[in-house]
Amino acid sequence: MSFIDFLLQHSPALIVAIPLLGAFLTPLISKINNRVRNVFVILIILITTILVMLLASDVFSGNIHTYVFGSQDLTVPLVRILFEVDAMSAFMAIIGSILLLVSVIYSWSFIDENSGLDKYYTLVLLLAAGMFGMMLTGDMFNFFVFLEITSIASCALIAFWTNKGKAVEAAFKYIVISSLAALFILFSIALLYGQYNALNIAVLGSVIQFSYLDKIALVLLIAALAMKAGIVPMHMWLPDAYGRAPASVTIILIGATQASLYGVFRVCFTLYGNTINLSSASIGWIIVLLGLITMLIGVAMALIQSDFKRLIAFSAVAEIGFIFLGIGTGLTLFANNQMFGLIGTTAMSGGIFHIINDSLDVGLLFLVAGAVYYATKETSLDKMGGLARHMKYTTIFFIIGLLAISGIPPMNGFASKLLIYESTFQLNPILSIVAILSSIMLLAVFVKVFHSAFLGPALPKFNGVKEVPKTMLFAMGIIASIIIIFGLFPDLVINNIVDPAVNALINYSDYIREVIPTFTGGF
């Protein structure tokens, strides 16, 4: 067995283990030198990214990977901890690894002036381990544990700038919401475990009955994960947390939020896959409606903000609404085979493709906001102006982000939003009208930002402002180039990574059959 095969076989465990090992080595290594520590952290994330890509390339070719901790093979009854990686998990892990890599490169200069950086990097790597664990695990309880790791690490990172009281307030809000969500999830896991004596997602999915208790568990799971993902009635923590955290942390928080979204989809499509005919129409419509409210309120709130990062945070809320709209449309039609073939798969590809587009677009805008803050120490849009004269590269990156987030053709946002508009229009025209309206309003929001921050006469107080350091430009450049590539060749992305992920969600029986070969349900 070659070394690559060895890595491939063990990659699900290593993707979580390497950041975890790195996290606890960081405090020791930072005793040597700050530069060595930064290189070490980037190296750890780079190794993890390579492993993710290796695993994903194999998973997208059709193999589902299972990894049993502490034993060579699966034993029935299943008592061991199990990681199960299908195309959807691999897709999410790719997003997470890109965001992490960009974040640590960006951190090199951005966070350099602060003290306590060994703790910062430890928490970033812990957050990475928790995030990848949520995406790759095949066990409900394990999912809960990784969710808790993610919550605690994010809470501490949001409060990283403790000298500003508002950051501590945001972190407190976040930890309250997270603990509440985690308790909901724990309770629903207890409900499922009490009935079926199993914690494994595949095992639970094969025996689930959709009893009264199962319905309660489903509602609690969706509510809790939507809370963590920032869906509108439960979104109040998100603008605070995104707005107050350092920009390099915010971009990882986007990844952690997407991991919760992934949880919603995994629960709806795989855990309750066997009973999806009973649940899909009602749950699908609920998700569609949540998506609509999220889009409208997110955009409307973004219009009235004057703080740069808070404004982007509200548009991030709106973007999550698009994802929910796409996936919800797919779920609504799931039981209807004929309709699903026509519209449902398009809607789901749109929704899933939009997950990666949303993280990249919003991530780039947050990095630009961070760069503006780094150069001017100013967050209020009312006090900015004429920055394009001093920071030309940052301005170009902002224009790319602006076009991408509002779905203007050469950028990636257009491709996924078009798929969502097309499919939702056939389900109900009002849905796509609301979606297009929110998209136009997003454009209005960011044109306003562009005008007030970057255009206009040069202000005397910004005379000394210079372009940000090269590492920050490089980090923004990575995301911007991915955005342009995805925008120019959307069919390549859809065929190679989005469609396998959509198929993995739809064909939930494959996921179950990987653990229980005798399972006969599903399509």
Q: Where along the sequence are the contacts to other proteins (CB under 8 A)?
A: 10, 13-14, 17, 20-21, 23-25, 27-28, 67-72, 81
CB of 66 to other proteins, least distance (A): 11
For residues 229 and 92, the answer to whether their CB atoms sit within 8 Å is no
Between 24 and 79, CB nearer to other proteins: 24
CB of 9 to other proteins, least distance (A): 9
Between 138 and 490, CB nearer to other proteins: 138
Strand partners, 68: 82
CB of 28 to other proteins, least distance (A): 6
Between 23 and 276, CB nearer to other proteins: 23
CB of 95 to other proteins, least distance (A): 24
**Angle (nearest 5°) at CA 246 between 38 and 318:** 125
CB of 47 to other proteins, least distance (A): 13
For residues 61 and 6, the answer to whether their CB atoms sit within 8 Å is no
Between 24 and 211, CB nearer to other proteins: 24
For residues 411 and 487, the answer to whether their CB atoms sit within 8 Å is yes
Between 53 and 74, CB nearer to other proteins: 74
Between 125 and 356, CB nearer to other proteins: 125
The conformational region for residue 486 under phi > 0 = left, psi -120 to 50 = alpha, else beta, is alpha
How far is it between the farthest Cα atoms of the chain? 73
Q: What is the DSSP string of 313-346?
A: HHHHHHHHHHHHHHHHHHHHTTT-HHHIIIIIHH
CB of 27 to other proteins, least distance (A): 5
Between 10 and 383, CB nearer to other proteins: 10
Between 69 and 236, CB nearer to other proteins: 69
For residues 372 and 453, the answer to whether their CB atoms sit within 8 Å is yes
Rg (CA), the chain: 22
CB of 24 to other proteins, least distance (A): 4
CB of 194 to other proteins, least distance (A): 23
Q: Within 230-344, where are the H helices?
A: 237-244, 247-266, 276-303, 308-332, 337-339
Taking the C-alpha atoms of residue 329 and residue 333, their distance in angstroms, rounded to an integer, is 7
CB of 13 to other proteins, least distance (A): 4
**Angle (nearest 5°) at CA 141 between 294 and 81:** 130
Taking the C-alpha atoms of residue 350 and residue 325, their distance in angstroms, rounded to an integer, is 9
Residue type, 482: I
- Specify the DSSP class assigned to residue 389: G
Between 13 and 281, CB nearer to other proteins: 13
Q: Is the peptide bond before 77 cis (omega within 30 degrees of 0)?
A: yes
CB of 137 to other proteins, least distance (A): 13
CB atoms within 10 A of CB 79: 11
Between 67 and 269, CB nearer to other proteins: 67
CB of 198 to other proteins, least distance (A): 20
Between 64 and 479, CB nearer to other proteins: 64
Q: Which residues contact 497 (CB under 8 A, 6 or more apart)?
A: 56, 60, 87, 91, 94
- Report the SS3 class of residue 86: coil
For residues 256 and 363, the answer to whether their CB atoms sit within 8 Å is no
The conformational region for residue 70 under phi > 0 = left, psi -120 to 50 = alpha, else beta, is left
